[in-house]
Structure 1
Amino acid sequence: MHTLFFRALPAALALLLLLVGAAEYAEARPSRRTADIAYVPATDSAYHPERHRLDVYAPKAAGSRPYPVVVFIHGGNWNSGSKNLYSFIGRRLAKQGVVAVVINYRLAPQVQVPQMADDCARAVIWTATHIREYGGDPDRIFVMGHSAGAGLAALLTADNRLFQRRGLVPNPIRGAILNDPAGLDMYDYLQKKQYTGDAQYLTSFGRQPAGWREVSALYHITTTTPPYLLFVGGETYPSISSSSARFRQKLIELGHKPFYQVLPGKKHIPMVLQLYWARNVIYRELLQFVEAGSPAVRP
């Protein structure tokens, strides 16, 4: 994951996303946003008034049937990031016939990755329970994420225990869209510690190898795991490209046929910034994956 890169990521990405958000604000937006919904009750001992919030972006026009739903999980090295930076993704999805749920979750050092994954699972459970109120289809819930958020999305899709612990069986997720995912195999990554400063990740992942394995999606995928779309930047970081390739290979060995595309010339941050444009390849594949969108936004 390259320590120097991730130290610079939060500030650089935040600035770029704020600029994108300013441009988005100036456009006409045929979508309806409901902001800052609490997905954990305030009476819960774990409740955080900022991090346990989500925004719903729904198409303004009523559909002939409920819209598919995509829950977006932001990245940020497991210690930074905010749903507020990704309104452009919510708007773009809603414009293309998808109800988008963009979430916050607690971050390190206050919590570690198991608690982050539990937060994300609770956001998905809220979605399954309430999304009909916003025009969404609870039987067509997908998760999507970039970087650390994609690693969490992969884990939610593969590890059914995250939902079983909260009393929800079966797993409500129908598939995942992974955008330059980080953390697919932290068990391997943290055992090797190839890069200077990799010890910083022990704050988020703890010091026990068994714990690293527990939160690595690679070790939870089975023959019945829902399908994945994987997009990897052609110029992303070696740890992301190599773990994504291993993840794909494991899926193939289990009998899956994952969609996997390397986007030439793309570095890590541009992989998420490209989602500002409705016609980029990720949206084109996503819309077919969730069976959404109008012909006007397809090639």
Structure 2
Amino acid sequence: MLFLRLLWQIPAGLFLVVIVFLFANEYATARPSRRTKDIAYVTTNAPGVDSERHLLDVYAPKKVANSTKLPVVVFIHGGNWTSGNKNLYSFIGRRLAKQGIVAVIINYQLAPAVLVPVMADDCAQAVRWTTQHIAEFGGDPNRIFMMGHSAGGGLAALLATDDRLFSKFGLAGNPVKGAILDDAAGLDMFDYLTKMEYPNDQQYLVPYGKDPAVWRTVSPMYYINDHTPPMLMYSGGRTYPSITSSSQRFHQLLLDHHVKHEYKVLPDKKHIAMVTQLFWQHNTIYQELLRFVGASN
């Protein structure tokens, strides 16, 4: 009986140890940073405003010299364009802030309430807010970089490549200085939805609709040109075949247009692991991101 009791206690004990470790780790990471939650990035009384989805959080280092302006990373979450929330990614905000970056983690509207073009507009408006207000948090509005995982990676790539997203909101030019794409999905949804090669592909008609012209409009593959900003691209060695294929084609187009970038496949990483690895501060992506954005830490 004693042996059986010990067997039951071990999982609970290990679980408690893991929970204590994670909370201690998060506390240690949080101490050097400050989080400003639930900032509305659109006028709150404007038509069509979603009180939950039109919000962002800012993570900034606590100790910054008054004259220092830090690089800014705007992170867009994934979730198949139908789910996800900025609150799940506080660990990314904390770790970026700890390493000398002002991080902006955003929400945006999701399907089926809206289609992807509206999501892209939301993200562009969050970046516009960032250009106007990030200096108040110690960030440099002239050094704004996009970052995203999965669906968020595709949106980040779109904001970096499609200047029209900003001109429609009154910005003279595209403020995005570069992008970090983490196992990005949706780089070429025109090709993907035209072919419908994989099981359950019909599900993506919910966020993208049934008009092929729309699929092309929100596919960053078709906006790459000689003026596209620099990029860091990562895909998992065991990610979805569609992400592998589109990432390779995106990489080749960047090469064709002589766009400064790096593309790396991380061995044995599956799609979800490509973002959960960012829990660890010394992850390869963070190390290269710091150099990419010009962070001093």
Question: TM-score normalized by structure 2?
Answer: 0.90
Partner residue, 2:173 = 170
* CA offset digits 1:90-129 (Å, max 9, x no partner): 0000000000000000000000000000000000000000
Aligned partner of 1:13 in structure 2 is none
3-state secondary structure, aligned to 2:214 = helix
Name the stretch that deviates more: 42-51 or 115-124: 42-51
Which of 198, 204, 208 aligns to 2:207? It is 204
- Paired residue for 2:56? 54
User: Does residue 273 in structure 1 map to residue 276 in structure 2?
Assistant: yes
**Residue matched to 1:8:** none
Confirm whether residue 81 of structure 1 aligns to residue 65 of structure 2: no
Bigger relative contact order (CA 8 A; separation at least 6): 1
Match of 2:12 in 1: none
Return the letter of the residue paired with 2:264: Q
Indicate the residue corresponding to 1:182 in structure 2. Answer: 185
- 1:227 is aligned to 230
Closer/same/farther in 2, CA of residues 23 and 211 from structure 1, 3 Å limit: farther
1:218 aligned to 218, 221, 224, which one? 221
1:69 and 1:98 in contact (8 A); partners too: yes
**Shift of residue 54 of structure 1?**
0.3
Instruction: Please tell me the residue identity of whatever aligns with 1:139.
Output: N
Q: Give the aligned residue type for 1:211.
A: V
Task: Measure the CA separation in 2 of the matches of 1:155 and 1:36.
Answer: 24
Residue 44 of structure 1 is matched in structure 2 by 46
1:27 aligns with 2:24: no
RMSD: 1.3
Tell me the residue number matched to 1:123: 126
Give, in whole Å, the separation in 2 of the partners of 1:108 and 1:174. 28
Equivalent residue of 1:166, what SS? coil
In the alignment, which of 260, 264, 273 is matched to residue 263 of structure 2?
260
Q: Write out per-residue CA displacement over residues 210-230 of structure 1, whole angstroms, 9 at most, x where no aligned residue.
A: 110000000011110111100
Partner of 2:68: 65
- The superposition leaves residues 166-221 of structure 1 with CA deviations (integer Å, 9 ceiling, x where unpaired) of 01011000000000000000000000101122111111111111110000000011
Indicate if the aligned counterparts of 2:187 and 2:221 stay in contact, CA closer than 8 A.
yes
| AA partner of residue 55 (structure 1) | D
Query: Deviations 1:35-83 (Å, cap 9, x if unpaired)?
Result: 0000011121121000000000000011352000000000000000000
Number of the residue aligned with 1:153:
156
Give the match for residue 294 of structure 2: 291
Q: How many residues align?
A: 276
Structure 2, unmatched stretches of 5+, are 1-18
Report the equivalent of 1:10. none
Q: Secondary structure at the match of 1:77?
A: coil
Assess, with a 3 A threshold, how the Cα gap between structure 1 residues 248 and 28 changes in structure 2: closer, same or farther.
closer
Q: Which amino acid aligns with 1:144?
A: M
Change (3 A) 1:179 1:61: same
Kindly indicate whether the alpha-carbon contact (under 8 Å) linking 1:230 and 1:259 is maintained by their aligned counterparts in 2. Answer: yes
Q: 119-128 or 250-259, which moves further after superposition? A: 250-259
The separation in 2 between residues aligned to 1:160 and 1:86, in whole angstroms, is 27
Residue type matched to 1:174 in 2?
K
Tell me the equivalent position of 2:13: none
3-state DSSP of counterpart to 1:268: coil
Give the direction of change, closer, same or farther, for the CA distance of 1:238–1:136 in structure 2 (3 Å limit).
Answer: same
